[in-house]
A and B are shown apart, each in its own frame.
Chain A
């Protein structure tokens, strides 16, 4: 190749790996400066290149040109694909045997000395080509990405098992984004970059689209590209071959630095997000770790994981609008579950003393920063335990999880948006505890006082008092203004705002908690708590109401609220009440939103950041090639 227009070549020559400094800031400054200088340099070069006649390398075809129109680029690649098929060559091989994964490769050969080659050691690896640079017609460099890591690929015609002409041809056919398999031997470049020296390379899967770049064209973009490169190197420890800056759970993320920034594209085409933005892989690994930790925590305590139905005749166990569907064969309407609670408690009635379920719940509600129509929860139920036990276990589980996943109890979180500094959230146990009713009085500085006898909470006087309180403090509570809803809003205003570090808000009034057991010593309240972190509810738990008579009364109260227009009040589940009549032992139950907790650990302000495929508004057309998105970013 070696076309003078190949800006990649100059990049590798000049911007090759350098010894890393620990001082990131200093490095950043230096990088910026270097970028400025290089920008000037490259502009000169580019001008010279444009002036010089192009070398007549056969393989050097227009499709190399990153400036090409995306449609034309795709057509060219389709043509190349078609040519392969015509020649009866399978462009999509069935199998490529890899002898070693990239992470293992780095582990095994990372300690080679600079310039060392192990020519007798045959290895085969595979991955995606994320950059390609040529240095003359006989030397090619690639970055090969796999498993979130990368190695350099060095193709030199004298090592290759084919003729020079074939060498050039083969490498001309490999484009950025393609999946390739490589047979070769390990070694390190003189500059110390771990590489594989190519004996043969096989194209395993074509990338028909031009991958988005922030530096597609123009002098300014060149500078950006170099800067990008420098920036990523700042954080790279060259020894562990991280693809780019190394984000880890609990640290703050810098979305501004992403190659692919357009949110729509990132969420709709998550695979591009994963390919181009190296943090993302780690974000979803973190999600997986959260779930795995919870599972192991409960398994270790002899809880049995079960599966309860996602489609029910009645959507019970929570207050939310359900999705409705229809079973044709049975000619029966079904609702998607909004919570697994009632079924899990039925299993406790059945004698499984410790059960849990990690799974999807569905709520037919609006989509916003913390709500997706389907989301993942963990609920567990524990016979003979109460809410006190649950608070202890919650502290143990969450602080243990944060410690294991992030390495410490404190995490960084952009609580006030990406343009504000990140705050620190401290999961060191024990967590703060705030009594709801007392807290309301305390945090309103005595301005909200509820009656001494909390059993009176349901009276019309209290309702009137709360309506006035909401008006007074400018707390919005759209109708219906039931006491439950008013209290909820006031608590949100006065108490939840105080809960940045993990805090239990406890002892909710009975009217707010139809499934929780009345407090053993404070009339009118329940043995319930919610855990708030960063002002958001993460856990909800209580000693379970197991008196069937009282449960029926509570359901009846909910029905009254429904009649008042609160369509989020719970429906009565007669089957559940009957189950209670067979006897539910004293039981403590607990639920946690996995998505929200993952958001904390991944510095995500939008729930879509932690869902691989978040629900999106329908879009009319087929996905546009994301080049456009990249252009947006570049412009």
Chain B
């Protein structure tokens, strides 16, 4: 603790160490005449403002009170600004409730670069002033006794207009000032920490005159402060710390935006996530829920005897999926390397090595476009269990999602983007073929090997269909398996709103899955869909090295043919298209080492991958993957 070096406004002699005293005298020099400051007398009633805040601040959580809080921030950000001379032009602002429209315009000005710069310059001056007074505006530590939420809980029964000032009621809190109202002899600060908000009740009488003036002149919204005092609930029912000692812990230089959500540049929320989080506590709640979900998954896996391991991100060969990998170069090895596109092949090696239940939660990288569902790096869990099959995995998927839902929502029914979704088990299980037939009326299994007939059937279905579809991909499908999958993706996926296991995929699109034990041409695989999105992918793992090799070879052939066709098509369009097609092309390699591992014998095994970002999106009702990734990849500015 280095309190002596902070601004220390306490009356108690203990806190008035010599640097504080010298500061007070020196800093007084910098004080501007009080009449220059905006007086809050024009505000109709300070207590009326308090009332609005009070109903929210009583709840420790943020969830319920976001809007009102934001509102109060907005009001206070602007109404307090004049006191710090940051926005002299808004001197005439009145009751925020009345003049909200006008204030908005003003705020926009504050946001503009020039006034931001002005504020920054002004605050830098305050930093200097503080230092000149012998105070460090960037404190070292603060011993806090309670979080805001803890106080709200502990003093929930403290009646209005009552103080609690026994020995045990001496508390120390710390956080960011998010609202600030200063009157003649009284100031209210709303302080926000990790857990919630608490009001700081600063009476001039409890502090020295000078100290109170310091509060007025050097403290801004956005600053981190530490406060010590006793507890009091105001006449209006607002729980407060009755402040006896106040320290600036970190001087903020930039003003918080006062209408974050009205920003035209929505991207800014993602680019400056910390501002998003300061202004909207719900954002942090999503990340807390994300942590809870992952933690719950881990706990569940461990309870089942799974071991968490780490497999490499940098690989000589990007296998386990068909996706364009990121390429990088290792200087010392003089070797190009790929960022993993899946953890599958390495985890299965470990099953060969005798770890019968393994999993990895980790980052996967795919060099693909960004969308509301795609970020180039994302988090997945892949898990493998020896002596299990895909039926076991379906049960496990249900268990995992159920546990996570109960952990963050306490319920198995949820609303996602306005749609009711029930996670009540059991979930629908249906084969891909039957789902496609349900929608199209075509039984693709009936075509045998006659791909042309199958294509014709598909094309005529789309011709008669109201919605327009690009049937190009259908015509390009190299096999009936690919064709069924195309049709499935085009017409069935989006209909799978409630949790559905889509089972028994064609072998052509599933190079790592075991042939179905009774349905020729299909594999023992499922994908879990919720709200039309793939959430999980699992199979009884292919353990036959001979077949694995030929599947890989077929995959490479199909892939190369597709790349060649794309290049051919591009060629017709001209050089630029060709160049871009060549740039877009990527190789699918064959992981020989993995096949060798299989030759040493892998027990019958089932494996599953779950997209954690998408699971978090579902369970936190987040529309975009960017809402559940703290720092999503953004286009360069």
Contacts and interface: CB of A to CB of B under 8 A. Distances in A.
A139 B581 CA distance: 65
Interface size class on chain A is 35 or more
Contacts of B309: 284, 287-288, 612
Interface string A298-326: 01000011111111010000000101111
Contact of A274 (B137, B350, B593): B350
A325 B327 contact: yes
Interface string A462-479: 000000000000000000
Which of A145, A334, A367, A549 has the most chain B CB atoms closer than 10 A to its own CB? A334
Contacts of B332: 364-367
Given A205-B603, A275-B353, A330-B635, A543 B140 contact: yes
B579 interface: no
Given A269-B597, A272-B600, A366-B332, A306 B377 contact: no
Interface in B282-299: 283-284, 287-288, 290-291, 294-295, 298
B276 A350 contact: yes
B328 A581 contact: no
B588 interface: no
A371 B138 CA distance: 36
A309 B593 contact: no
Nearest to B333: A617
Interface string A340-369: 000100110111111000011010111100
A150 to B, nearest CB: 11
A586 B600 contact: no
A94 B346 CA distance: 21
B58 interface: no
B600 A209 contact: yes
A146 B356 contact: yes
Contact of B124 (A96, A349, A549): A549
A330 to B, nearest CB: 6
B629 interface: yes
B360 to A, nearest CB: 10
Nearest to B378: A307
A315 B291 CA distance: 25
A547 interface: yes
A328 interface: yes
B583 interface: yes
A148 B294 CA distance: 28
A174 to B, nearest CB: 11
Interface in A91-114: 91-98, 101
B631 interface: yes
B176 A273 contact: no
Contacts of B354: 128, 145-148, 271, 274-275, 281
A126 interface: yes
B327 A326 contact: yes
B250 A585 contact: yes
B604 A96 contact: yes
Given A582-B254, A583-B224, A583-B252, A92 B514 contact: yes
Given A329-B370, A350-B284, A95 B272 contact: no
Interface of A: 74, 78, 81, 90-98, 101, 126, 128, 145-148, 177-179, 181, 204-209, 211, 268-275, 281, 284-285, 287-288, 291-292, 295, 299, 304-311, 313, 321, 323-330, 332, 334, 336, 343, 346-347, 349-354, 359-360, 362, 364-367, 373-374, 376, 383-386, 388-389, 517, 520, 527, 543, 546-549, 575, 578-579, 581-586, 588, 611-613, 615, 617-618, 622-623
The 4 closest A-B pairs by CB, nearest first: A350-B277, A274-B353, A271-B353, A583-B252
Given A281-B354, A307-B363, A617-B335, 12 more contacts: A274-B353, A326-B327, A329-B368, A350-B273, A350-B278, A362-B314, A364-B329, A384-B249, A388-B141, A517-B140, A581-B253, A582-B275
30 contacts: A96-B387, A96-B604, A181-B387, A204-B603, A275-B354, A281-B353, A308-B631, A310-B313, A326-B327, A329-B368, A330-B636, A332-B636, A334-B326, A347-B630, A351-B274, A352-B288, A383-B194, A389-B141, A520-B136, A578-B254, A581-B252, A583-B222, A588-B141, A612-B309, A613-B346, A615-B333, A618-B333, A618-B335, A622-B592, A622-B593
